[in-house]
Amino acid sequence: MLDRSYLAGPANEVATYLLGAVIRNSNQTLIITDTEAYGGFDDPASHAFKGATNRNRSMFGQAGVLYVYLSYGIHRCINVVTDSEGIGGAILIRGGLAITKNELDSLGRPRISVISGPGRVGKYLGAELSDDGVDLFGGLNWQLRGNGSSLSVGSRFSTGMRIGISKATDFPWRYYLEDPLDTFSEQELLFALNRQ
DNA sequence: CCGGCGATTGTCT
DNA sequence: GACAATCGCCGGC
């Protein structure tokens, strides 16, 4: 069972714990399949690199809270904060599997679609800037659930360079599933779904 | 105080 | 493949 203590380390060391985990807001549910780690003073590409500001303050807070920022003035991107208080770190959610319980496919199963890109993730989950800093463990609307209520990824993930950055482009801190729908069997997906 | 630019994406060619 | 949309941050003056 994923809890706050799993996220107490550096973002790049704990990011894979989020693969296969479930993040939800109100009635929207996402199985996380694509993540990027952002550090603190050790990571020039991180919002936290130059210290705490009004925008990135939650990155320096306790692990397991949400960090929401406005990207290109348009998109609301969500992160899971990691590491100890006072140390900046967060894991950007870049993509996942969206479960739409109300919509059934031609075989009567809940429709599962791929969400790709941090802007689309924020949009799907209805993230707002006012959600910045909310606790993902024990909160009402936002929740993060791993292992036991989520899918087991094991070693079936890939590592690569982070997308869209101009600094620290050689940090292999992206952790993702190449083909998320094919990574899990239908049995696994339905199991995870029934645990929601 | 001003201006360039970004952890992006939808649209048009 | 190129580019506009859109706004807060941060560096520079």
Query: Which pLDDT tens digit goes with each residue over A138-191?
Result: 989 999 998 756 678 888 899 999 999 999 999 999 999 999 998 988 778 777
Residue of least CA–C1' distance to C7:
A73
pLDDT at A153: 86
CB atoms within 10 A of CB A126: 13
A99's tokens: 């479960």
- Tell me the nt nearest to A71, Cα to C1': B8
User: Which residue matches tokens 């991107």?
Assistant: A77
Predicted confidence (pLDDT) per residue in A47-85, tens digit: 999 999 999 999 999 999 999 999 999 999 999 999 999
CA distance A163 to A189: 27
Q: Determine the Cα–Cα distance for residues A95 and A122; give it in Å rounded to an integer.
A: 10
Residue A137: how many other CB atoms lie within 10 Å: 16
Query: CA-based angle A190:A194:A196, to the nearest 5?
Result: 120
Tell me which nucleotides of strand C come within 7 A of a protein CB: 5-11
Residue A188 CA and nucleotide C9 C1' are separated, in Å, by 43
Å separating the CA of residue A132 from the C1' of nucleotide B9: 22
pLDDT at A152: 81
Q: How far is the CA of A72 from the C1' of C5 (A)?
A: 9
Provide the pLDDT for residue A106.
Answer: 75
Q: Distance from residue A108 (CA) to nucleotide C9 (C1'), in Å?
A: 48
Q: Which two tokens stand for residue A52?
A: 């705490």
Residue A132, number of CB atoms within 10 A of its CB: 21
Through-space separation of residue A41 CA and nucleotide B9 C1' in angstroms: 29
Tell me the average pLDDT across A25-41. 95
Amino acid A107: pLDDT:
75
CB A73 within 7 Å, strand C: yes
